[in-house]
């Protein structure tokens, strides 16, 4: 599947500012960037770095005035479907050790505090992809998706109490429950096909049966149409823009469309593996 993605971010810079941007499609084995273009206006020199997980950081030092970041790319996703019933959990004894840090709690995913709940609610379920689906179903059924109900400080344990949030909060809860059950889980920001209205989206990935699999407890986007941008411990690792200095965002546009006809299928009953 090929997708065209685009985003435009506009800022009013009041004093010299360092922008650390993360809007480009991540460098992942099964996410091929066929073409892309990043245009800063006014143009400024860039520093670039790809983090170990594939997240691509761009740094720009910007002088006062209007500043616009426009990104566009065509990306081919080579995801594989699997029968969820066949995707087992990988026992800790068999996990690649580089995946083990994704069992640790993080800023927004206090898997330690939520461990008793996770074990009580999901501990007796049969291990495997379907257990993570049960976790996603629980979140969907027990948390209200409500714009404005959370903010940049809201963590999974807050959401557990308040029972409302947006996509990042849903992902943080899912990650927390999985880690508590010894399932490695990480956060992914993305361009999300069919998300309405268009916006940056957040989902999570679990390491199951030798691959990372995608999960979206909000049920708002199609799993086969997720072009990932930032992949990390949680939202702290995947901000689309961090500014050191004086600047205000004045506009944001996000778009994604299929670059070819989309095949039919049964996406909702398939496990979508990504790496």
Q: Which residues bind its own copies (CB under 8 A)?
A: 18, 20, 47-49, 51-52, 57, 59, 61, 91-93, 96-98, 100-101, 103-107, 109-110, 112-114, 116-117, 120, 142, 144, 152-153, 157, 160-164, 182, 232-233, 236-237, 242, 244
Helices (H), the chain: 115-122, 129-142, 156-162, 167-180
Minimum CB separation of residue 253 from its own copies in Å reads: 26
Q: Please give the C-alpha separations between residue 122 and each of 116, 118, 218, in angstroms, as whole numbers.
A: 10, 6, 19
Q: Which is nearer to its own copies, 182 or 262 (CB)?
A: 182
Minimum CB separation of residue 237 from its own copies in Å reads: 6
Distance CA 190, CA 227 (A): 5
Q: Which is nearer to its own copies, 81 or 158 (CB)?
A: 158
Q: Which is nearer to its own copies, 52 or 196 (CB)?
A: 52
Q: Please give the C-alpha separations between residue 246 and each of 21, 39, 267, in angstroms, as whole numbers.
A: 15, 21, 44
Minimum CB separation of residue 75 from its own copies in Å reads: 22
Minimum CB separation of residue 192 from its own copies in Å reads: 23
Distance CA 14, CA 182 (A): 46
Q: Which is nearer to its own copies, 48 or 80 (CB)?
A: 48
Distance CA 109, CA 274 (A): 22
Contact status, residue 77 vs residue 227, Cβ threshold 8 Å: yes
């Amino acid at each position: 599947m090929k997708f065209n993605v685009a985003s435009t971010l506009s800022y009013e810079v009041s004093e010299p500012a360092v922008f650390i941007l993360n809007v480009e499609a991540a460098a992942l084995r099964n996410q091929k960037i066929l073409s892309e273009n990043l245009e800063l206006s006014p143009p400024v020199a860039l520093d670039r770095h790809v983090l170990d997980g594939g997240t691509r950081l761009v740094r720009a030092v910007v002088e006062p005035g209007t500043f616009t970041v426009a990104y566009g790319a065509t990306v081919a996703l080579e995801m594989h479907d699997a029968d969820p019933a066949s995707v087992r959990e990988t026992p800790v004894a068999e996990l690649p050790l580089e995946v083990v840090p994704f069992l640790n709690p993080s800023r927004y995913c206090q898997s330690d505090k939520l461990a008793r709940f996770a074990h009580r609610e999901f501990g007796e379920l049969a291990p495997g992809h379907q257990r993570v689906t049960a976790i996603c179903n629980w979140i969907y059924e027990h948390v209200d998706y409500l714009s404005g109900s959370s903010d940049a400080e809201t963590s999974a344990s807050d959401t557990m109490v308040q029972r409302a949030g947006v996509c990042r909060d849903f992902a943080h809860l899912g990650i927390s429950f999985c880690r508590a059950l010894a399932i490695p889980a990480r956060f992914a920001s993305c361009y999300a096909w069919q998300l309405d209205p268009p916006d940056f989206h957040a989902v999570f990935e679990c390491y199951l049966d030798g691959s990372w699999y995608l999960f979206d407890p909000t049920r708002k986007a199609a799993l086969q149409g997720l072009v990932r941008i930032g992949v990390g411990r949680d939202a702290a690792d995947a901000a689309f823009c961090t500014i050191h200095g004086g600047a205000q965002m004045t506009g944001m546009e996000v778009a994604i469309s299929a670059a070819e006809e989309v095949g039919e299928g049964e996406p909702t009953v398939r496990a979508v593996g990504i790496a």
